Amino acid sequence: MAKKRTKSKPTSAKKGFSLKLSKQNKIILGSLLIVLSIALFFSFMSYYFTWQEDQSMLSEFKDRNAEASNLLNKFGAGISHFFMYKGFGLASFAFPLLLAITGLYLFLGLDSKGLIGKWIWGLVGTIWISVSLGFFAVELPLLGGLIGYEMNDFLQDYTGKIGVFLLLLFVLIIILVQLFNFSPEGIANFFRTQKQSIKSDFKKSKSKTPVSEEGSIELSMDTDTPVVVDTYTHKEDIPPLNKEAGLDVNLPEEEDLGIALKVEKVTEEKEEKDIKAEKLVKDYGEFDPKLELGNYKFPPLDLLDPHGASGGITINQEELEENKNRIVSTLKNYKIGIAQIKATIGPTVTLYEIVPEAGVRISKIKNLEDDIALSLAALGIRIIAPIPGKGTIGIEVPNKNATIVSMRSVIASNKFQKAEMELPIAFGKTISNETFVVDLAKMPHMLMAGATGQGKSVGLNAVITSLLYKKHPAEVKFILVDPKKVELTLYNKIERHFLAKLPDSDEAIITDNNKVINTLNSLCIEMDNRYELLKLAMVRNIKEYNVKFKSRKLNPNDGHKFLPYIVLVIDEFADLIMTAGKEVETPIARLAQLARAIGIHLIIATQRPSVNVITGIIKANFPARIAFRVTSKIDSRTILDAQGADQLIGRGDMLYTQGNDVTRLQCAFVDTPEVSKITEYIGSQRAYPDAHLLPEYVGEDSGTGIDYDITDRDAMFRDAAEVIVTAQQGSASLIQRKLKLGYNRAGRIIDQLEAAGIVGPFEGSKARQVLVPDIYSLEQLLQNEKK
Ligand SMILES: Nc1ncnc2c1ncn2[C@@H]1O[C@H](COP(=O)(O)OP(=O)(O)OP(=O)(O)O)[C@@H](O)[C@H]1O
């Protein structure tokens, strides 16, 4: 369902007439229609009482001295005469109603899609009522109006009274079926639920009054039983249960059926729950998570720049010929004959597919990779021998004039617009110029690496932009970690729409490494909480959970809530892992292993794809990997487990793998001003009161309430205390430096010092306060502790 909704998002042109009016004009026109509808309403009402008096005056309309009795004077009398007398009679009230609805739509700027339908059905209903009331036109001409009377009369001439009646009945059925989804089952259901609620009300009232008279007990049993059987005739196992439920107060002698009854009770509860949910859905509709920001407008396409690309790629025939000849002659030099050669032109590279003559060994061509690259004298040549599943050999040669793949073109593509995915990402275009769209929810986590300046940040922006164009703020939340402090700041503007943060933090975009650790741990708590909810709801993943929640089968009073997807983006992972090591690696590995089912997805980018940054445990849990250009073959292997990323040409040229196949893509280009426009567009709309709040996590560093056992203290505890007190500066890095300890051990000692009351609590980026003034006081404190 959600998918369907996202499909019909107003992305660009599909807005009907509302597109032609500015906001101000809509408000003005809306108010005009509302005022007009009120005037019509009062005119019509008043006309009912004054029409006979006013009729003679209609011919003197131009005479200023003539006065009508209608509340709206001559205007009221004239227009009511037109609509009610000459028109549709009582049914004319539909017009002020329709005008008021249209006016409200325009005034409030609502999506005007359903409006035409309302008018059509309104007019059909008006004619139907007017023709039906035409039967009484002789006695009461105002009921059906002239049109109703004439039409009724006309039909009667041909079909007679009964014919007209049957015709009207048939039209009524059409209206009910089309408009209210009327069906025989629907009617049966309606009566069933009505009966049910009457019965339960009846039972409730019965159980409230203490049973005292035997006679009355028997009577209630008798009346109860047939109702129960009636209600569930289609389910044989239920009636005995209801019988019991109705009887269990009254008939203790049926105790021997105890076990069977218990089993059945469970089924009944479940049924009742479902029925309740169905009733709720019927009364209030499905739960709509988007309702709180119901007027949210998705960013329009024209915020994105076409970047000069007219859409297609220009084919340079000369260049193609030249490259082909060079490939053929190079291979000829090594005595490799070619049976066939074919070129596929992409935005940045052209793929030459070669079918070698029979008997040529593929390994021979593979070994010639460097020689071919040399003779083609071009940067970024990649040889794929053989192309998986094709039996040909591919040589990718960069185009002299690369075409920029604009984000606009990929977002506008059919493939993205129609993508039936949970978290669709339009990455860019493949070598055969097809838009490449993947589902982040299926990846389920992504590792992105590449040397500096090769397009990582643009890639991250492309990912975030794709999601912003497809998802409502209620459906996805981002946690942005930006140790470089400049790359992701633009997203600050959408903090209250799309970002998630820790409850006590001011900034939603995390730039401080300590906060990252807290956030990651908080995400782990969120993950555990979500698993608990999934368990309670008896579903396997977030998608099923949200479907169940939307159909009101999960009670918010039991802690259930709509769960948005959470996407964690870390722009520079190397920096984090270097400073925090295991403290970051452990929660990330945990999240990566477990978070896929509950809608938490990680995207990690790094400039330094070395093995101590992308450790085995991280790599094992990130099947989707993206490599922009890197400087060495080793780096390429670290990211992709294959070489090739070292031969890319940069500027968004990238390799993508989600397992075995490696796909070469040109990443879509989205520039900072475009991102800025998008975030401004979203940021200027009504938002939630705050960013999405993650569960609270009390980090080890904040240390509140940590009570360390004195005997458990680190061997260097005393030395560290002396260093801190002497320097009067409570920082872990000081201990690290002076005592040559690792980050983690120093952190632990600081916690112990805090527990001992030597340093104050964690104060963010500032050093902690030292609570002991000198070495002498420290001695005393430690002595007292021992006692
Ligand atoms: N997909 C693309 N198409 C065209 N040009 C691109 C593309 N991606 C990046 N570029 C060019 O490369 C430049 C650097 O890109 P980007 O800032 O994304 O690199 P980076 O890898 O994030 O660098 P750093 O690691 O230093 O932040 C961009 O300013 C842009 O000119």
Asked if residues 566 and 601 have their Cβ atoms less than 8 Å apart, the reply is yes
Q: Per residue in 255-277, is it b (16+ CB within 10 Å) or e — as a string? A: eeeeeebeebeeebeeeeeeeeb
pLDDT at site 245: 36
pLDDT at site 480: 93
Q: Is the pLDDT of residue 706 over 60?
A: no
Q: Where are the beta strands (DSSP E) in 622-745?
A: 624-627, 653-657, 662-667, 692-693
Residues of each domain in the chain carrying CATH 3.40.50.300: 407-685
Give the sign of the dihedral formed by CA 698, CA 699, CA 704, CA 709: positive
Q: Is the pLDDT of residue 569 over 90?
A: yes
* Band of pLDDT at residue 234, cut at 50, 70 and 90: very low
pLDDT tens digits for range 476-492:
999 999 888 888 888 99
pLDDT at site 190: 64
Report the C-alpha gap between 580 and 701 in whole angstroms: 12
Identify which has the larger pLDDT, 537 or 744: 537
* Ligand 1 neighbour 669 (Cβ under 6 A): yes
Ligand 1 atom, smallest distance to 462 CA: 1
The alpha carbon of 674 and the centre of ligand 1 are apart by a number of angstroms equal to 14
Nearest CA-CA partner of 381 in 653, 647, 667? 647
Mean pLDDT along residues 436-459: 91
* Band of pLDDT at residue 656, cut at 50, 70 and 90: very high
Ligand 1 atom, smallest distance to 666 CA: 1
Share of the chain above pLDDT 90, in %: 18
* Ligand 1 neighbour 404 (Cβ under 6 A): yes
Alpha helices in 181-213 (DSSP H): 184-208
* Ligand 1 neighbour 483 (Cβ under 6 A): no
Q: Is the pLDDT of residue 207 over 50?
A: no
* Band of pLDDT at residue 237, cut at 50, 70 and 90: very low
Provide the CA 613 distance to its chain's centre, in angstroms: 31
Question: Which residue has a Cα nearest atom 16 of ligand 1?
Answer: 455
* Ligand 1 neighbour 455 (Cβ under 6 A): yes
Q: Is the pLDDT of residue 667 over 90?
A: yes
If you search the block for the tokens 């031969």, which residue do you land on?
647
Residues in binding site = 450-457
Report the C-alpha gap between 745 and 743 in whole angstroms: 6
* Ligand 1 neighbour 458 (Cβ under 6 A): yes
* Ligand 1 neighbour 55 (Cβ under 6 A): no
Q: Is the pLDDT of residue 233 over 70?
A: no
Nearest CA-CA partner of 700 in 739, 745, 757, 736? 745
DSSP 645-671: GGG--STTEEEEESSS-EEEEEEPB--
Task: Give, to the nearest 10 degrees, the angle between helix 573-580 and helix 513-537.
Answer: 100
Ligand 1 atom, smallest distance to 668 CA: 1
Top CATH class of 407-685 equals: alpha beta
Angle at 431 between CA 425 and CA 432, to 5 degrees: 95
Neighbours of 75 (CB within 10 A): 13
Q: Exposure of 204 by Cβ count < 10 A (0-12 exposed, 13-18 middle, 19+ buried)?
A: exposed
pLDDT at site 374: 79
Question: Which residue has a Cα nearest atom 5 of ligand 1?
Answer: 651
CA atoms within 13 A on the CB side of 209: 11
pLDDT at site 341: 86
Cβ partners under 8 Å of residue 377, min gap 6: none
pLDDT at site 199: 57
The alpha carbon of 268 and the centre of ligand 1 are apart by a number of angstroms equal to 61
Is residue 129 classed as helix, strand or coil in its secondary structure? helix
Residues in binding site for ATP = 450-457
Phi, psi dihedrals of residue 446, rounded to the nearest 5°? -135, 135
Asked if residues 264 and 241 have their Cβ atoms less than 8 Å apart, the reply is yes
Residues of each domain in the chain carrying CATH 3.30.980.40: 317-398
* Ligand 1 neighbour 233 (Cβ under 6 A): no
Give the fold, CATH level 3, of 710-786.
Answer: Arc Repressor Mutant, subunit A (1.10.10)
* Ligand 1 neighbour 435 (Cβ under 6 A): no
Ligand 1 atom, smallest distance to 458 CA: 18
For the chain, count helices (H), then strands (E): 28, 15
DSSP 236-298: TTHHHHHHHHHHTTT-GGGGGGHHHHHHHHHHHHHHHHHHHHHHHHHHH-S--TTGGGTT--P
pLDDT at site 673: 92
If you search the block for the tokens 């009570």, which residue do you land on?
707
Report the C-alpha gap between 691 and 258 in whole angstroms: 53
The alpha carbon of 230 and the centre of ligand 1 are apart by a number of angstroms equal to 71
Q: For residue 20, give the DSSP letter.
A: G
* Ligand 1 neighbour 457 (Cβ under 6 A): yes
Mean pLDDT of the chain: 79
Report the C-alpha gap between 576 and 607 in whole angstroms: 12
pTM of the model: 0.58
Cβ partners under 8 Å of residue 549, min gap 6: 287, 537, 560, 561, 562, 563
CA distances 737 to 88, 723, 774, Å, are 92, 10, 21
If you search the block for the tokens 């500066």, which residue do you land on?
729
Residues of each domain in the chain carrying CATH 1.10.10.10: 710-786
> 317-398 domain in CATH 3.40.50.2300?
no
pLDDT tens digits for range 248-267:
333 334 344 444 444 444 44
pLDDT at site 253: 40
Mean pLDDT along residues 676-703: 82
Report the C-alpha gap between 240 and 413 in whole angstroms: 59
* Ligand 1 neighbour 456 (Cβ under 6 A): yes
Q: Is the pLDDT of residue 758 over 80?
A: yes
Share of the chain above pLDDT 70, in %: 81
* Band of pLDDT at residue 10, cut at 50, 70 and 90: very low
Q: Is the pLDDT of residue 216 over 70?
A: no
Mean pLDDT along residues 1-5: 40
pLDDT tens digits for range 763-774:
766 778 888 888
pLDDT at site 628: 93
**What does the chain come to in residues?**
787
pLDDT at site 256: 46
Lowest mean pLDDT among 160-169, 382-391, 723-732: 382-391
pLDDT tens digits for range 176-196:
887 776 667 666 666 665 665
Identify which has the larger pLDDT, 639 or 59: 639
Task: Give, to the nearest 10 degrees, the angle between helix 214-231 and helix 184-208.
Answer: 160
